[in-house]
């Protein structure tokens, strides 16, 4: 496997809610044939920083997606070919390079997710970082997530409150599932 690290407890103290391994995503069907999350080792180091910063605030990260094989990016693009929300697979997504993560926050004690004003994969302007449409408390929670992730060294995408990626993504190659060796896609 090419420089990818599995993101899972106990090494990573996160909750996994891997949307594309279920029918509960924008396509309405499973994209991954198994529930697993990977990031490039450089991104995994940044995620560890974010985990520590969240823990110091009594919070825990909920991870929805990490490395996304090019094949999976095509499945999403066929469902919603809108560059406002999805990277055109011909150009490549930071997810398909293993350097992007989709996530949220939950209370560490109760496991209750913080209200972010929309769900994950809400492909509407309400999902924008700067949207004032969600309730004020949800806007604060988004800013809290943004602050934690920025402090850990992540860049953000303005149109999705849940999406964070490393700076200079094109330094990293696009990875098809067969090259990555993750077995996320059906053979």
Active-site residue set: 160
Long-range contacts, 124-128 (Cβ 8 Å, 24+): 127/85, 127/159, 127/160, 127/161, 127/162, 128/158, 128/159, 128/160, 128/161
Tokens 């069907």 correspond to 29
Q: Is the peptide bond before 10 cis (omega within 30 degrees of 0)?
A: yes
Q: How many CB atoms lie within 10 A of CB 126?
A: 14
Q: Give yes or no for a contact between 67 and 98, defined as CB atoms under 8 angstroms apart.
A: yes
Whole-angstrom distance, CA of residue 185 vs CA of residue 187: 6
């Amino acid at each position: 496997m090419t420089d990818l690290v599995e993101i899972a407890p106990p090494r990573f103290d996160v909750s996994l809610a891997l949307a594309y391994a279920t029918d509960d995503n924008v396509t309405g069907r499973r994209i991954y044939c198994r529930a697993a999350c990977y990031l490039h080792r450089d991104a995994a180091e940044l995620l560890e920083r974010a985990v520590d910063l969240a823990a110091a605030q009594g919070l825990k990260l909920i991870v929805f997606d990490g490395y996304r094989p090019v094949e999976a990016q095509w499945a999403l693009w066929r469902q919603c070919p809108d560059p406002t929300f999805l990277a055109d697979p011909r150009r490549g997504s930071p997810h398909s390079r293993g350097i992007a993560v989709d996530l949220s926050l939950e209370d560490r004690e109760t496991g209750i997710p913080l209200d972010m004003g929309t769900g994950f994969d809400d492909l509407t302007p309400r999902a924008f970082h700067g949207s004032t449409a969600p309730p004020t408390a949800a806007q604060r929670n988004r800013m809290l997530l943004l602050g934690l992730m920025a402090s850990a060294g992540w860049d953000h995408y303005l149109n999705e409150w849940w999406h964070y990626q490393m700076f200079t993504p094109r330094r990293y190659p696009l990875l098809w599932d067969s090259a990555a060796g993750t077995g996320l896609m059906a053979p």
